[in-house]
C-alpha cells in the first residue's frame, strides 16, 4: 500500500465515523426539540447501539497500519498534515486508555448525573458527594494514563477541549483577569447609576420571529440549518446542516435574543468551515475556546454592544411595540445590567468570568485531591464570598448548579473564559481592520465582520492549532487586556465609572 | 452455550439492529420533515454509513451458531418461536444472496430512480426503459437465488412484504374483485346522481389543527409520536416513538383529513404492538397487507363512512366555517366522489384496486420476461383502457406515475389491495361484534373499534402469521366479498345504484 492509498483509506474511515457522529448529533438534537416524551427509553437504546458501533470504528486496528504508512507521505499539504496529526492524536489517546475504563466511566457518569439531579432538586450536596468522588477517581485514572510525558493530569483532560493548552500558562492571565474583574465589579457596585428596564408584552411567536430575523441578520444560512426551541439552547451539526435552538421567556425577550445570537455565533463557525474539509479530521473546530469565541463575539460584541443598539431597538419595536426603553443608549444599558446572582449561566459579562475562574481553581484542586470532595460545598462558598461578596444560601445556588462535574467534565470550564478572551481580542483586531465597524453595526449590516471572521477563523477548521489561528488573526498572543478594555469601556459608559 | 444463552445473545443482537434501524428511520423522517435543503448530500453519507453498519450486523456469522443452539429450546413460547422463525427467515435469505448482488442493486436502483424522475418530468418512457430492465434483471437474479423450493421467482419477492403469500392463491380472489369492480364502475358511470362539492376557505393552520384533533380522536398517542407536514405523507417509527406526517392542500381540506387518518391507522398499529415485543423480531408487523388494512380501515371505513360524516362535518365546520355541503349525507357523498383520472394515489375507493390489479399483472409479466420492458408503455395503456375505458395521454399519467418499479420494488403493489380486502373483512367482523358501531362513530367515539383492533391485531405484532391473524380476527379466510359488499353499499347509496 502506498502512503497515498493509506491516507485515502484513513480518510474514508474517518468520513464514515464523521457521518455516524453526525447521526449521533441528530439523535441528540431530535431528543431536545422533536422527540415525543415516551420515546426516551428507545432513544437511549439507539444512542447506546450507535456509541458501540462508533467505539469499534474508532478503535479499528487497521487505522494504525494505515497511519504509519500515510505518515510517509512526501511533503503533505497543511490540511493533510492536520488530518494525520488529529488521527495520530486520537489513536495515541485510545491506545493508552486502560481496558474497561471508558465503560466504567459511562456507567459512573450516568449514575452520578442522576444523583446530581436529585441533589440539586433537594439542595443537598451530601448524597451526591460519593458519586462525584467516584467519577473524579476514574477521570484521574484516565488523565494519568493518557498524559503525554511532562503533561499534568489536568492538562491531559484540558487538552481534549483545548488542544495544546497548559493550566500553568493560563494561570497568570487568569490571575490578572480576576484582579481586573473584582476591581471593576467593586466600582460597579459603588455606582449610583440607574439602569433602565425593558417592559412590555413579548408574545412567544413574535420572539421566535425576531430570533429568525436576527440569526439571518448575522448571516446564518437557513438553507443549511434551522432554528427551533429547546429548554437549554444549543447548536449542533456540522457542514451544511448546522442547527440552532433558543429559549423563550414570555416576560423577558432578551433571553431569546441573546441565546439566539450566541448559538448563531457557534453555527456561523461551523457553516463557515471550508467545504473541502467537511467530514475530515482537519474539518473540526480549532478548540472549544475558539468555538466559544464565536458565540461570545456575536452575543456580546455585536448583540450587547452600544453600536448595535439602534438597530436592535428598531427590530424589537417592530416585533413587540413599546419596550419601555426610550433610546438606544437605554437599551444598551438595560441588556448589560449587572445584578447580584449566584448562577453562572445567568451572569452578566462583568461577573461571568469570575464564575469560571473559581471553577478552574476548584476543579484542579478536586482532581489533584488537594480539595477532598466532601469539602467542596464550603470551599465553593468561601471562594464565592471572596469574589462576589456574599455566600450562596444553599448548594443548588452553589456547587450543585452546573451539570459538568457530575458527568466528569473536568477541564472544560476554562474554555468559556478562553472564549471571552479570544472574542475580545478578535473584536479589537477587527476594529483595527474595519474602522467604521460601529456605523455598520448600527445599520444592522453584519456582513463585514462575518467576512472577516470567515477569512481569519472559520474556513480554516482545525488545520492550524488554536494558538496559531488566534495569533494570526489578532497579530499576537491573546491575553487579558482586550477583554478588560472591552468591559471597562462598556461598563464605564453604563455606570459612569 | 445453553439454548437460553444463545437465544439471549440473538435477542441482544436483534435489539441493537432494531435500534439502528430506528435510527435509520429517524434520518429518513428528518429528511422529509425538518432537514434543511443543503443538508441532502451529508444525509446521504449518513444513510450510507449506517446501511454499511447494518449490513455487517445483519450478516454477522455468530448469529448462525446462536440460532442453531437456540432452536434447541424446549417448548418455546409463541413469541420466542416467532423470534426464532423470523431470524431463521432472514439468515436463510441472506445466505442465499449471491455476493455483490445487494451492492449492484443499490447502485442500479439509485441510477434507475434518477432516470425515472427525469423520464417522468419529460413524459418520455424510452430513456428510462434500459435502466428499468437492468433493475429487473437483478431482481430476477435475487428472486431465483432466494426462492424456497417450489416457490416462483415472483413469490420470493412478494414474500418480503407478505410472508407466506403466493400469487397463484391471490389470482382467483383478485380476478373476482376485478370483475366486481369493473361492473360497479360501469354502473357508477351510468348514474345521473349529482355529487355535492366542498367549498370554502381552508387555512393551512386550521387544517393542521384539525389533523391533530382527528388523529387524537382516533386514539393516536401524541406522547408517543408527533404529526408534521411532508410532501408525501408517511408514518415512521415503532414502539413509543411513532410519527406521522400529512400534507395540506389549501384548496381541498380532504387531502389533509384522509392522509392524516390513513397515516394514523398505520401509527395506531405500531403504537399498539405489545410492549414486551418492542425491538424484537416478533415485534414487527404481521405483513404489509395487514399494516395497510389498518390505514385503510381508519381512512375509508371510519373517515369516509356515512356513519362518521355527522361528527366529521361538525369538526370541519368548527375548523373552517362554511363548507358548502348542507348535510352529513352531502359530505359523505362529496368525500367519496368517483371521478375520472389516471393516477393511482388520487383514485377513489371504487377505482383504486383496479389500479393495483393491473400493476400486479404487469409486474409479474415484466419479471418473468413475458412482457419486454420496451412494450410496457403500450401494455399499460391497453390494460388501462380495458379497465377504465380511456388511454393515458402520456407515460407520466401511465407507467411512469409510480416510483416503485424504478427502485426494483416488485411484489409490493398487491399488498395495497390485500390491505383493502383485509380492512373490509375486519370492518365486517367488527360490525358483528359491535352492532351499534355506527351510532358511536357518529359521535366520534372511536375507542371501541380501536380496542377491538388492538386486541385482535395490534398487540400480536408478528407472533402469528398474517393469514392466521386475519383468519382469527375475521372468523375465516379473507376473500373479495366483504370489500365488494362495502363498496356496493357505499356507492349504491351515493349513486342511487
| Cα B242 from Cα A218, distance rounded (Å) | 37
Residue A1 has pLDDT above 90, yes or no: yes
* DSSP state at residue B147: P
| Cα B390 from Cα B308, distance rounded (Å) | 34
The reported pLDDT for the residue numbered A99 is 87
Query: Per-residue pLDDT tens for A82-129?
Result: 999 999 999 999 999 998 898 899 899 989 999 999 999 999 999 999
Query: Per-residue pLDDT tens for B8-32?
Result: 999 999 999 999 999 999 999 999 9
- Same domain? A208 vs A102: no
Task: State the cell numbers at A278.
Answer: 467537511
Residue B99 has pLDDT above 90, yes or no: no
Last residue of one domain, picked from the residues B53, B75, B97: B75
Query: Per-residue pLDDT tens for B233-249?
Result: 999 999 999 999 999 99
What lies within 8 Å, CB to CB, of B336 at 6+ separation is: B304, B348, B349, B490, B491, B494
Residue A457 Cα distances to A464, A468, A472, angstroms: 10, 11, 9
Whether B135 is covered by a domain: the verdict is no
Confidence of residue B400 (pLDDT cuts 50, 70, 90): very high
| Cα A123 from Cα B408, distance rounded (Å) | 61
- Same domain? B277 vs B400: yes
Choose, out of A36, A52, A242, A271, the residue to mutate when testing the contact with B (most B CBs < 10 Å).
A36
The reported pLDDT for the residue numbered B88 is 96
C-alpha B167: how far from chain center: 18
Whether A124 is covered by a domain: the verdict is no
| Cα B71 from Cα B64, distance rounded (Å) | 10
Q: How many helices (H) and strands (E) does chain B have?
A: 20, 3
- Contact A38/B278, CB-based, under 8 Å? no
Answer yes or no: pTM beyond 0.90.
Answer: yes
Task: Return the CATH number at B212.
Answer: 1.10.1370.30
Which of A269, A298, A234, A288 minimizes the C-alpha distance to A414? A288
- Same domain? B363 vs B467: yes
Pairing relationship of beta strands B227-229 and B241-246 according to DSSP bridges: parallel
**What does the pLDDT average to over B69-74?**
97
Q: Which residues are paired to B299 by β-bridges?
A: none
Query: Per-residue pLDDT tens for A258-288?
Result: 999 999 999 999 999 999 999 999 999 999 9
- Same domain? B187 vs B39: no
Choose, out of B34, B50, B224, B276, the residue to mutate when testing the contact with A (most A CBs < 10 Å).
B34
Question: Phi/psi at B432 (nearest 5 deg)?
Answer: -65, -40
Query: Per-residue pLDDT tens for B160-206?
Result: 999 999 999 999 999 999 999 999 999 999 999 999 999 999 999 99
The reported pLDDT for the residue numbered B15 is 97
Query: Per-residue pLDDT tens for B323-358?
Result: 999 999 999 999 999 999 999 999 999 999 999 999
The reported pLDDT for the residue numbered B246 is 98
Which of A303, A241, A244 minimizes the C-alpha distance to A273? A241
Please check whether residue A56 touches B, CB under 8 A: no
Residue A374 appears among annotated catalytic residues = no
Task: Provide, rounded to the nearest whole percent, the portion of chain A with pLDDT above 70.
Answer: 100
Question: Which residue in the set A22, A30, A221 is minimally distant from B42, CB to CB?
Answer: A22
Task: Provide, rounded to the nearest whole percent, the portion of chain B with pLDDT above 90.
Answer: 98
Are the C-beta atoms of residues B243 and B260 closer than 8 Å to each other? Answer: no
Task: State the cell numbers at A89.
Answer: 492524536
Query: Per-residue pLDDT tens for A290-318?
Result: 999 999 999 999 999 999 999 999 999 99
| Cα A380 from Cα A396, distance rounded (Å) | 12
Last residue of one domain, picked from the residues B28, B54, B75: B75
Are the C-beta atoms of residues B184 and B485 closer than 8 Å to each other? Answer: no
Burial of A435 (0-12, 13-18, 19+ CB in 10 A): exposed
Distance from CA of A16 to the nearest CA of B (A): 6
Whether B116 is covered by a domain: the verdict is no
The number of folded domains in chain A is 2
| Cα B184 from Cα B180, distance rounded (Å) | 6
The reported pLDDT for the residue numbered A429 is 98
Are the C-beta atoms of residues B258 and B225 closer than 8 Å to each other? Answer: no
| Helix residue ranges per DSSP H, B297-407 | 309-320, 328-334, 349-368, 376-388
Query: Per-residue pLDDT tens for B311-324?
Result: 999 999 999 999 99
Residues 168-227 of A with CB under 8 A from B: 221-226
Whether A439 is covered by a domain: the verdict is yes
Residues 231-260 of A with CB under 8 A from B: 239-241, 243
DSSP three-state, residue B243: strand
Last residue of one domain, picked from the residues B75, B92, B108: B75
CB neighbour burial string for B136-158, b if at least 16 within 10 angstroms, e if fewer: bbbbbbbbeebbeeeebbbbbbb
ipTM over 0.85: yes
Query: Per-residue pLDDT tens for B27-46?
Result: 999 999 999 999 999 999 99
Which of B270, B286, B268, B261 minimizes the C-alpha distance to B470? B286
- Same domain? A473 vs A497: yes
Task: Provide, rounded to the nearest whole percent, the portion of chain B with pLDDT above 70.
Answer: 100
- Same domain? A82 vs A216: no
Residue A464 Cα distances to A83, A163, A237, angstroms: 11, 11, 21
- Same domain? A148 vs A170: no
CB neighbour burial string for A246-272, b if at least 16 within 10 angstroms, e if fewer: bebeeeebbbbbbbbbbbbbbbbbbbb
- Contact B42/A223, CB-based, under 8 Å? no
Task: State the cell numbers at B261.
Answer: 387518518
- Same domain? A102 vs A228: no
Can you give the three-state secondary structure of chain A, one letter per residue? CCHHHHHHHHHHHHHHHHHHHHHHHHHHHHHHHCCCHHHHHHHHHHHHHHHHHHHHHHCCCHHHHHHHHHCCCCCCCHHHHHHHHHHHHHHHHHHHCCCCHHHHHHHHHHHHHHHHHHHHHHCCCHHHHHHHHHHHHHHHHHHHHHCCCCCCHHHHHHHHHCCCCCHHHHHHHHHHHHHHHHHHHHHHHHCCCCCCCCCCCCCHHHHHHHHHHHHHHHCCCHHHCCEEECCCCCEEEECCEEEEEECCECCEHHHHHHHHHHHHHHHHHHHHCCHHHCCCHHHCCCCHHHHHHHHHHHHHHHHCCCCCHHHHHHHHHHHHCCCCCCCHHHHHHHCCCCCCCCCHHHCCHHHHHHHHHHHHHHHHHHHHCCCCHHHHHHHHHHHHHHHHCCCCCCHHHCCCCCCHHHHCCCCCCHHHHHHHHHHHHHHHHHHHHCCCHHHHHHCCCCHHHHHHHHHHCHHHCCCCCHHHHHHHHHCCCCCCHHHHHHHHHHHHHHHCC
- Contact A20/B279, CB-based, under 8 Å? no
Which of B232, B245, B30 minimizes the C-alpha distance to A228? B30
**One of B108, B255, B263, B480 is an active-site residue; which one?**
B263
Are the C-beta atoms of residues A349 and A336 closer than 8 Å to each other? Answer: yes
**Which residue does chain B place closest to A237, by CA atoms?**
B39
Across A90-99, A395-404, A486-495, B352-361, least confident range: A90-99
- Count of all residues that appear for chain A in the document: 497
Whether A312 is covered by a domain: the verdict is yes
> CA angle, A157 as apex, A62 and A259 as ends, to 5°?
105
Maximum alpha-carbon separation in chain B:
74
Are the C-beta atoms of residues B227 and B244 closer than 8 Å to each other? Answer: yes
Whether B109 is covered by a domain: the verdict is no
- Residue range of the domain that includes A43: 3-107+138-161
**One of A263, A363, A377, A467 is an active-site residue; which one?**
A263
- Count of all residues that appear for chain B in the document: 497
- Same domain? A204 vs A261: yes
**What does the pLDDT average to over A67-90?**
97
Residue A495 has pLDDT above 90, yes or no: yes
| Cα B228 from Cα B33, distance rounded (Å) | 7
Which of A196, A227, A233, A198 minimizes the C-alpha distance to A214? A227
Task: State the cell numbers at B91.
Answer: 439468515
Whether B140 is covered by a domain: the verdict is no
- Same domain? A260 vs A393: yes
* DSSP state at residue B390: S
Whether B148 is covered by a domain: the verdict is no
- Same domain? A336 vs A483: yes
Are the C-beta atoms of residues A271 and A225 closer than 8 Å to each other? Answer: yes
Question: Which residue in the set B20, B39, B279 is minimally distant from A240, CB to CB?
Answer: B39
Terminal-residue alpha carbon distance, chain A: 68
Question: Which residue in the set A26, A36, A43 is minimally distant from B30, CB to CB?
Answer: A26
- Same domain? A330 vs A446: yes
Amino acid at each position: 500500500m502506498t502512503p497515498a492509498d493509506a491516507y485515502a483509506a484513513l480518510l474514508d474511515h474517518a468520513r464514515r465515523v464523521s457521518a455516524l457522529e453526525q447521526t449521533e448529533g441528530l439523535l441528540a438534537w431530535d431528543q431536545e426539540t422533536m422527540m415525543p416524551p415516551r420515546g426516551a427509553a428507545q432513544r437511549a437504546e439507539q444512542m447506546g447501539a450507535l456509541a458501540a458501533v462508533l467505539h469499534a470504528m474508532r478503535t479499528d486496528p487497521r487505522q494504525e497500519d494505515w497511519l504509519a504508512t500515510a505518515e510517509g507521505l512526501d511533503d503533505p499539504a497543511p490540511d493533510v498534515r492536520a488530518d494525520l496529526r488529529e488521527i495520530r492524536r486520537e489513536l495515541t489517546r485510545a491506545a493508552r486508555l486502560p481496558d474497561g475504563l471508558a465503560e466504567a466511566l459511562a456507567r459512573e457518569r450516568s449514575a452520578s448525573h442522576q444523583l446530581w439531579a436529585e441533589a440539586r432538586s433537594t439542595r443537598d450536596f451530601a448524597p451526591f458527594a460519593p458519586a462525584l468522588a467516584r467519577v473524579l477517581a476514574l477521570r484521574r485514572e484516565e488523565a494519568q494514563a493518557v498524559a503525554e510525558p511532562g503533561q499534568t493530569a489536568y492538562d491531559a483532560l484540558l487538552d481534549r477541549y483545548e488542544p495544546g493548552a497548559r493550566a500553568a500558562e493560563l494561570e497568570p492571565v487568569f490571575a490578572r483577569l480576576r484582579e481586573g474583574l473584582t476591581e471593576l465589579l467593586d466600582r460597579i457596585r459603588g455606582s449610583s447609576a440607574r439602569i433602565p428596564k425593558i417592559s412590555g408584552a413579548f408574545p412567544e411567536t413574535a420572539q421566535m420571529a425576531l430570533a429568525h430575523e436576527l440569526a439571518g441578520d448575522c448571516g446564518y444560512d437557513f438553507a443549511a440549518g434551522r432554528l427551533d426551541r429547546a429548554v437549554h439552547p444549543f447548536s449542533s451539526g456540522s457542514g451544511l446542516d448546522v442547527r440552532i435552538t433558543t429559549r423563550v421567556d414570555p416576560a423577558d425577550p432578551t433571553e431569546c435574543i441573546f441565546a439566539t445570537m450566541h448559538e448563531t455565533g457557534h453555527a456561523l463557525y461551523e457553516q463557515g468551515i471550508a467545504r473541502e474539509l467537511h467530514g475530515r479530521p482537519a474539518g473540526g473546530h480549532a478548540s472549544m475556546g475558539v468555538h466559544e469565541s464565536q458565540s461570545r463575539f456575536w452575543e456580546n460584541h455585536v448583540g450587547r454592544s452600544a453600536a448595535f443598539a439602534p438597530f436592535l431597538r428598531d427590530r424589537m419595536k417592530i416585533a413587540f411595540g413599546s419596550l419601555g426603553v426610550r433610546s438606544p443608549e437605554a437599551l444598551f444599558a438595560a441588556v448589560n445590567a449587572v445584578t447580584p446572582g449566584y448562577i453562572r449561566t445567568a451572569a452578566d459579562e462583568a461577573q461571568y468570568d469570575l464564575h469560571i475562574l473559581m471553577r478552574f481553581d476548584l476543579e484542579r484542586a478536586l482532581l489533584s485531591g488537594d480539595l477532598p470532595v466532601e469539602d467542596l460545598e464550603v470551599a465553593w462558598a468561601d471562594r464565592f464570598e471572596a469574589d462576589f461578596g456574599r455566600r450562596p444560601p444553599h448548594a443548588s445556588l452553589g456547587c450543585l448548579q452546573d451539570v459538568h462535574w457530575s458527568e466528569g467534565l473536568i477541564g472544560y470550564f476554562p474554555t468559556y473564559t478562553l472564549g471571552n478572551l479570544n472574542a475580545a481580542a478578535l473584536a479589537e483586531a477587527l476594529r483595527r481592520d474595519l474602522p467604521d465597524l460601529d456605523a455598520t453595526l448600527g445599520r444592522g449590516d453584519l456582513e463585514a465582520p462575518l467576512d472577516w471572521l470567515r477569512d481569519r477563523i472559520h474556513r480554516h477548521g482545525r488545520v492550524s492549532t488554536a494558538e496559531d489561528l488566534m495569533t494570526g488573526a489578532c497579530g499576537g498572543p491573546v491575553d487579558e487586556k482586550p477583554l478588560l478594555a472591552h468591559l471597562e469601556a462598556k461598563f464605564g459608559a453604563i455606570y459612569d465609572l
